[in-house]
């Protein structure tokens, strides 16, 4: 009850000046991810429209129009980059530690072979992540086929992988020796195919099948489906809702320390709305047999954001991960309170304070300042 009350108070305090990255599409009305990204389901490289948005609309002080710059080589080749690092501090009852962390160093390229056929490639030098696929927009109403290596389309694709609905902390802070979120951390990719169908101008249905492992014929493929509906009412109100499901094989050790691949069924729903500069997003997922046989885990995310001025947004997010829904008081819970500051084109700074909620109460909060350069 105390934690629920604390959550309510924090929302009241920060909603008047509180933002997500899918928030941009929601705040833009009935915009789709493909309006700003090469990938129809969002994330990674920005297309020409997304690059222009980041150059002129997003920052507090945009680059002077007289300064010539472009993300294109010739007429049909685009390039991009994404560099992230952070300064973090961990505070417990007995210690206070600070350090620097390199997060990502990616370069992108996209080549248009025809008006409706393109190929994208990304390599992350820090994590060694290789992602590459071709997209053919040959289905009715702008639908597409995608083939290659990519992250499947599940839930809300936040750019903060520490949300438990994505991949969690990856052991950087407060490692428990177990997974602290769903499978969609930055290194997770599948090799396979994806189909996307646009239903009128307000819905996108995607389905994919792929192999997440480097070996072949180890298990059957992973199947993922996602349906998202986005609508606008007037000029200042937009909403979206959707549902995702996935079936995959989870690699883990049993009680006898033997490798096994149990089948995991994961499903969930998400929703959000925007009123003017305020955006609220939420997602809830359930995973059966995810961490332990005959048990279910759940993940939840609620994020409120508000654009104070151009280039400055305030953000409050509540994360919750329940390892076993049948066991009480084993949940991971926290608030993430911070700002997203874009002083200049393609330069972002994110200060965040992360408050862990536990029973019994333990002092183990953290402070993060993330530096992000993209192009």
pLDDT in tens, 85-110: 999 998 877 888 899 999 899 999 99
- Per-residue pLDDT, 171: 57
SS3 202: coil
SS3 11: helix
- Per-residue pLDDT, 87: 94
CA distances from 38 to 82, 109, 118, 209 (A): 15, 10, 9, 20
Is the residue at 114 inside a domain? yes
Q: Which of 225-234, 282-291, 328-337, 354-363 has the lowest mean pLDDT?
A: 354-363
Average pLDDT, integer, range 63-91: 90
Average pLDDT, integer, range 201-228: 92
**Rounded distance between C-alpha atoms, residue 85 and residue 103, angstroms:** 5
SS3 316: strand
Judge if the upstream peptide bond of residue 354 is cis by omega within 30 degrees of 0. Answer: no
Is the residue at 241 inside a domain? yes
> Do residues 172 and 189 lie in contact, with contact meaning Cβ atoms separated by under 8 Å?
no
Is the residue at 170 inside a domain? yes
Strands (E), 115-221: 117-124, 129-136, 144-150, 190-199, 203-211
DSSP code for 36: T
Q: Render pLDDT for 41-58 as a digit per residue (tens, 0 to 9).
A: 888 888 888 888 889 999
pTM above 0.85, yes or no: yes
Average pLDDT, integer, range 185-191: 92
Q: Render pLDDT for 303-359 as a digit per residue (tens, 0 to 9).
A: 999 999 999 999 999 999 999 999 988 889 999 999 999 999 999 999 999 998 876
- Per-residue pLDDT, 10: 39
Q: Which of 10-14, 140-144, 197-201, 281-285 has the lowest mean pLDDT?
A: 10-14
Number of domains in the chain: 1
- Per-residue pLDDT, 177: 57
> Do residues 17 and 314 lie in contact, with contact meaning Cβ atoms separated by under 8 Å?
yes
Q: Render pLDDT for 232-261 as a digit per residue (tens, 0 to 9).
A: 998 889 999 999 999 999 888 777 777 888
- Per-residue pLDDT, 216: 83
- Per-residue pLDDT, 64: 86
- Per-residue pLDDT, 3: 44
- Per-residue pLDDT, 115: 92
pLDDT of residue 29 exceeding 80? no
- Per-residue pLDDT, 329: 83
Work out the percent of the chain whose per-residue pLDDT is above 70: 90
Residue 99 dihedral angles phi and psi, to the nearest 5°: -165, 175
Is the residue at 155 inside a domain? yes
| Element at 84 (helix H, strand E) | strand 77-92
Q: Which two tokens stand for residue 323?
A: 């390892």
- Per-residue pLDDT, 298: 97
**Rounded distance between C-alpha atoms, residue 366 and residue 173, angstroms:** 8
> Do residues 335 and 321 lie in contact, with contact meaning Cβ atoms separated by under 8 Å?
no
- Per-residue pLDDT, 44: 81
Per-residue pLDDT band for 176 (boundaries 50, 70, 90) equals: low
**Rounded distance between C-alpha atoms, residue 132 and residue 126, angstroms:** 17
CA distances from 219 to 108, 159, 184, 214 (A): 31, 29, 19, 12
Is the residue at 309 inside a domain? no
Question: What value does the mean pLDDT of the chain take?
Answer: 87
Is the residue at 112 inside a domain? yes
DSSP assignment string, 223-281: EEEEEEEEEEETTTEEEEEEEEEEEEEPPEE-TTS-EE--EEEEEEEEEEEEETTEEEE
**Rounded distance between C-alpha atoms, residue 318 and residue 336, angstroms:** 6
- Per-residue pLDDT, 84: 93
Is the residue at 370 inside a domain? no
Residue 96: Cβ-neighbour burial (10 angstroms; 0-12, 13-18, 19+): exposed
Average pLDDT, integer, range 152-166: 92
- Per-residue pLDDT, 73: 92
pLDDT of residue 297 exceeding 90? yes
Is the residue at 257 inside a domain? yes
User: Pairing between strand 312-322 and 331-344?
Assistant: antiparallel
Per-residue pLDDT band for 9 (boundaries 50, 70, 90) equals: very low
Per-residue pLDDT band for 292 (boundaries 50, 70, 90) equals: confident
- Per-residue pLDDT, 138: 96
Domain extent at residue 161: 2-84+102-304+314-325
Report which of residues 201 and 248 the model is more confident about.
248
Choose among 313, 316, 282, 275: nearest CA to 299. 282
Q: Which two tokens stand for residue 102?
A: 């390199």
- Per-residue pLDDT, 125: 94
């Amino acid at each position: 009850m105390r934690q629920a009350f604390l959550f309510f108070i924090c929302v009241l305090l920060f909603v008047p000046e509180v933002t997500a990255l899918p928030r941009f599409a929601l705040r833009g009305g009935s915009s789709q991810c493909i309006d700003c990204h090469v990938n129809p389901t969002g994330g990674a490289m920005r297309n020409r429209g997304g690059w222009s948005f980041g150059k002129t609309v997003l920052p507090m002080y945009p680059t002077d129009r007289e300064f010539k710059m472009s993300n294109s080589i010739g007429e049909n080749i685009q390039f991009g980059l994404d560099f992230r690092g952070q300064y973090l501090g961990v505070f417990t009852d007995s210690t206070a530690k600070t350090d620097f962390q390199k997060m990502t160093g990616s370069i992108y390229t996209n080549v248009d072979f025809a008006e409706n056929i393109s190929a994208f490639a990304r390599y992350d030098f820090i994590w060694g992540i290789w992602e590459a696929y071709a997209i053919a927009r040959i289905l009715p109403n702008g639908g597409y086929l995608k083939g290659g290596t990519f992250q499947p389309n599940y839930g809300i694709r936040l750019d903060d992988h520490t949300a438990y609905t994505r991949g969690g902390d990856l052991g950087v802070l407060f490692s428990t020796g177990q997974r602290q979120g769903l499978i969609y951390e930055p290194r997770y990719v599948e090799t396979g195919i994806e189909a996307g169908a646009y239903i009128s101008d307000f819905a996108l249905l995607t389905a994919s099948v792929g192999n997440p492992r480097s070996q072949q014929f180890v298990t059957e493929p992973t199947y993922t489906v996602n349906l998202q509906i986005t609508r606008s009412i007037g000029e200042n109100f937009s909403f979206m809702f959707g549902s995702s499901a996935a079936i995959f094989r989870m690699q883990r050790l049993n009680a006898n320390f033997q490798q096994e691949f149990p089948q995991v069924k994961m499903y969930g729903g998400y929703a959000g709305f925007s009123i003017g500069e305020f955006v609220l997003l939420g997602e809830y997922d359930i995973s059966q047999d995810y961490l332990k046989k005959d048990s279910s885990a759940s993940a939840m995310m609620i994020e409120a954001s508000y654009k104070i001025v151009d280039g400055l947004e305030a953000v409050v997010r509540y994360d919750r991960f329940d390892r076993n829904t049948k066991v009480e008081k084993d949940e991971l819970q926290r608030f993430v309170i911070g700002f997203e500051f874009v002083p200049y084109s393609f330069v972002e700074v994110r200060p965040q304070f992360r408050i862990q909620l536990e029973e019994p109460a333990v002092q183990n909060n953290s402070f993060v300042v993330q530096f992000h350069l993209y192009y």
